[in-house]
Structure 1
Amino acid sequence: MPAPFDNIASPATQAAASPPFARLAHLRPAHLAWCVALAVGVAFACAAYWWTEKISTERLRAAGAQRLEVYAASLENLLDKYDFLPHMLELDKDVLALLEHPGDSARRQEVNGYLERLSRQAGSRIIYIVDLRGRTLAASNWRQKDSFVGDSIGFRPYLRDALRGRPSGFYGVGTTSGEPGYFYARGVHRDGRMLGVAVVKVNIEEQERGWVQGADKVMLADANGVVFLSSAPAWKYHTLRPLSGSVRAHLEQTRQYHRLPLPALPLRRDEARADGTRVVAIGDGAPPLLAQTRSMAPRNWTYTYLSDLSQARANARAAALFACMAYSFLLLLFLYLRQRQRGILQRLQAREQLQEAYDNLELMVAERTARLARTTQSLSDEVEVRRQAEQQLHRTQNELYQAGKMAVLGQMSASITHELNQPLTALRTMSDNAVLLLERGRMDEARQNLAKISQIVARMGGITGKLKSFARKSNAALAPASIHTAIANALVLVERRLELDKVAFTLDISQGDIYALCDINRLEQVLLNLMTNALDALGTLERGARRELSVSVTEVPGSVQIRVRDGGPGLSDEARARLFEPFFTTKPQGEGLGLGLAISEQIIRDFGGSLRAEQSDTGACFIIELKTASVDT
């Protein structure tokens, strides 16, 4: 080792030392220089990592703060929209009269109807009137099984605050219906005297649905830290921190969350940052999240927006790697310049080595360019194959839709044949009569007979025309289509079966025409399929049972809803879960392929709408929802 030799050698000995020993003596400063260069490179990489992570995190924080403001403003606008309703009730004379005379049943019925209409117009969940003892006198849901009329809600904090003259708002889970909502409560006064309290319950779950559909991680907690709105369903009705015994006792007394256990969120990490944010991890193996909060006064709610820090740390790692590469490049450049200062021979050798490295680099670039060209060509071929596959899929779907039409027409062939046989028989008889009348010179009677023949032929032409229109292939182009026309055309094809099966049919639709954005031929196919399924279900009822089929059309902002409801045996839980699954059918073997509802659901989805089954006390109810379309007149 060089160190012992340095300690014991004299100057004369050092001067006489051989060249190898001299080189060994100069290794220690070189080692020190390399250590310093390595330390500087590590420090440079760490600084790049820290700076990039800070900048990325700051951008996440700024974006999160902006999103928090948007969410808070949206919720405030939603809540402020209903703040006026309790004031309106204080101005209604029937409400005041009911509070002064709670035993007046006729007045209660009038107030119930008024609250029901007001709730429907305002879009609120429930409106109800409570007397000073906390008993509900009238409610907008008086028709429903879970009506609030007669309930005692004196335990609710919002009622107690309103009775003290402090209008308040309160979020909680309903003890009667089990549905969450936000409650507005305000005292009803007359001549300075409080008569009762007006309460309005609204649904703010729409905010949560928007979060779930997006990619944001958001949650809203109350003053006790209970999360009641969240983009992650698993976090809802959890707490940000364990609740104390007194808080749980208060929540049980007010029944704010009505028997929900309210466990704490599984926080595996919780670190405070200097800028007021926190880094948290919720659940085992969960990524670190940047948590930002915003208070919503005066409700004492707290919005929390969570940003995934994984991307910020990935950016920091990339920056550190780039810093290492840049530093390495600079270090190599320094070494190259230093090496260049050595003799001409060393420069020539370095030039040769550099040329060799350049040749290798060119070869690598050429190889990678060729590989990239092959990859590009492969991707182009794959795109073309996928495009052809998509075209084949569209053609197959159109053929499947057409096959579904033909299957429906095949099932209806017996009734259609019977429908045509009757007028054909009448035509033959009346033609024979016309010949006899002409032979006998009874021209007026013959003319009347021929007019009836013309009417029968026109009717048969209408039936076959509807069949031809229904059976033809659709071009799948979306255009404004008349809902009245589509329903009328479908009814023509099931009209005979309605008469034979003695089905009471009702149609509820406005007088003015309604237009939806769809293909009318395919819409008729869906309507005919739903009506045929309903008639099949009605056919399973016992003899003598009343058979009912109804079609109703309603317009809501931006969409049209068509309901097809029957009075049949209804849908089982298994059938409801597998309604739109291909080849699933509840009909006996040989009477259906199980493709009708699957094809219908795909058709409506292609229109940009939806087909779903609705819960019904009796029978089955299917809802078609389509986008409205305007027609220039």
Structure 2
Amino acid sequence: MPPSHDTPSLPPALAPRLAPAHVRPRWRSALAWMIVVLVGAALAWLAYWWLEELNTERVRSAGARRLETYAASLENLLDKYEFLPRMLELDKEVVALLQHQDDPALRSTVNEYLERLNRQAGTSTIYIVNLQGRTQAASNWRQKDSFVGDYVAFRPYLQDALRGRSGRFYGVGTTNREAGYFFAQGIYRDGKMLGVATVKVNISELEKSWNTGTIDKVMLADSNGVIFLSSAPAWRYRTLSPLPASVRASLEQTRQYHQEPLPPLRFDADVPRNDGTRVVSIRDPGAPDNLRPVPMLAQTRTLAPRQWTFIYLSDLSTVRANSRIGMVFAILAYGFLVLLFLFFRQRRRALRQRLQAREDLLSAYNSLEAMVAERTSRLEKITQSLSEEIEVRRQAEQQLHRTQSELFQAGKMAVLGQMSASITHELNQPLTALRTMSDNAVLLFERGRMDDARNNLKNISQIVARMGTITGKLKTFARKSNDALVAVSIDTAISNVLVLIERRMSLEKVTFQLRIAEPELYALCDSNRLEQVLLNLMTNALDSMAASSEKVLSLSVGRAAEWVELRVCDTGPGLSEETRAHLFEPFYTTKPQGQGLGLGLAISEQIIKDFGGTLSAEHTGAGACFAIKLKPAPMET
């Protein structure tokens, strides 16, 4: 083990002399730093509070001016139409229609007159109602949703006009659901009320002028707290607070907002301020709960005598962001001053220590030379130890590589050993035939049947060639593999393996199915080791089907994305979940004792990994299926 790397200590002659002459007690130093931190925190809080108040006042002033402008523009718009219902009382046709309500020609004349007047005045709708609350003529008489014939006696503006007062009302139309402000005035002749003239004005256009270009919001609420105009469309027809049941019943009776549900806005915060404003946080409808609403400064202005309330919401996120920036700037300035003080203090201390250090360094020079020599000696020992450790590891890696190669070779020998019975039978049969044919050839020569003897010798030659092919494949399979990866023909590898197991498949009556998607597929691997893996998988498949009624061994070859894929499947009992979990562990086997070491799949997996590919077991529902993925190689020419 290499020696530890200890930090060199100062020479005894040097260490005492570098110590300060006067050491301040620790509690005094801690108290001083605590005071510094507390002063910095107080300064940061004061800076944030002062900047927030300053910026909030600026935002409040700007919001108040805009609120006043919006209120004045609304008042001017409504005042412009105050006279219009009274003017209709002066029209003879209007009065005549209310006196002769069954005259269709007179109704048509009034309809056309109201249509022209509505177009010239820029109103939404103008219509005439009799004393029973039934509309007699309207400017929209040509439209499908015309007001002519509608019953509107339930509307508050009409009830006020029938009582002799000026009717003023904002609501949603029950016919076309268009919101507007209604002016209603009684029509009299000789001191007797004949009907009511009503003018509807669309004030929703004002919302477009409320778009401030920021996230500031403007809204207009009635006496019940129902928001009927807003620069935020999602807030329209919502309430500032939950409506009492009596108010809801009254609104349903007058149909002021028709069928709107009038849900309340969700206030996450509502904090009053000394200047009469409030800091509120309103959650947008449909916004997720984890999204925090923006804090806003709320200012109100009442519009009398309509009992409306203008509300202007100013964004405070910028105010708070600027306040935080100012706070950070104050902290940085304070920190700079503290660092400047410490710098000058440290500089004075450094000047005092510099003179002392010159003498200390001169006295320590000799001690340092000895320390350097000692350290050099220790480093040389460490270097030598590391070199020895590197050599040991190199030898261990070489030994591991040799052991792995021997393990692969042992795996092949184990497979050959398991196949020894079928190979012996494969060779004994042609040997017996050779002996019989050779005896027959002697008799044929003695009898002079030269043609038959010649044919017999040709058969002997063919049998010897077949035996040579089998022994050649065994010799090739048994030799040690090369570590170099080359382009290997998949067809050739499969043919070589089939030579070794075709006799066993014939004896055990196994049906072999071979499916190759495209000819001449080449993979980057070692042919001998690939044949070892295929032979192991196919031998395992034959073993697993020993007790199966249907014995089918299938081998499919094809391309998938950037891989050459080989699948070896059987119709055996398949793999359990426990077996799949330990399938590639060394010495794990499901075969009876003495019929396997449990190294075949572990060796096969390592071989495929060395090729840069993968070996895995797939769940097919019937039997076992192993998939090999190899890197493709260019075709040999």
TM-score scaled by length of structure 2: 0.49
Q: Of the two structures, which has the highest relative contact order with CA contacts closer than 8 Å and spacing of 6 or more?
A: 2
TM-score scaled by length of structure 1: 0.50
Larger Rg: 1 or 2? 2
